[in-house]
Amino acid sequence: MAARPRAARPRVGDKRPLERLHERIIAGDRGWFFANIADKVAERRLDKNLSQRELAERCGTTQSAIARLERGGRPPRIDTLLRIAEALECELVVDLVPR
């Protein structure tokens, strides 16, 4: 039986945007976005004199999820961010900037 030829490894430019984002998250390069969001959530929450538990109740999640977000543990889903923004009386702005 003949060996199957190995597929060529995709070049960086060949990767889809979600693949590149996933690689950045895995590599710990999430400070550019997720840490900024985490800091803003914590700052706004404190400005509004809310505990993590109170914010969690307002947006239908758990206190541990808010704590994890604020310390940058796991990137939150966009629907979670939208609920948090609403609870904090903020607009969620996601931007795409050409490289």
Q: Residue 63: in which H helix or E strand, if any?
A: helix 63-70
47 found inside a domain = yes
Residue 37 lies in a domain: yes
Parent domain of 80: 27-87
Average pLDDT over residues 65-84: 88
Q: Which long-range contacts (CB under 8 A, 24 or more apart) does 77-86 make?
A: 81/37, 83/59, 84/41, 84/55, 84/59, 86/59
pLDDT averaged over the chain?
80
Whether residue 63 lies inside any domain: the answer is yes
Please tell me the predicted confidence (pLDDT) of residue 29: 54
- The CATH number covering residue 66 comes to 1.10.260.40
Q: Is there a domain that residue 15 lies in? A: no
C-alpha 32/C-alpha 81 separation (Å) is 16
Structural domains counted in the chain: 1
Tell me, yes or no, whether 80 lies in a domain.
yes
Least confident of 2-6, 16-20, 86-90: 2-6
Q: How confident is the model over 73-77, as a mean pLDDT?
A: 80
In a domain, 11, yes or no: no
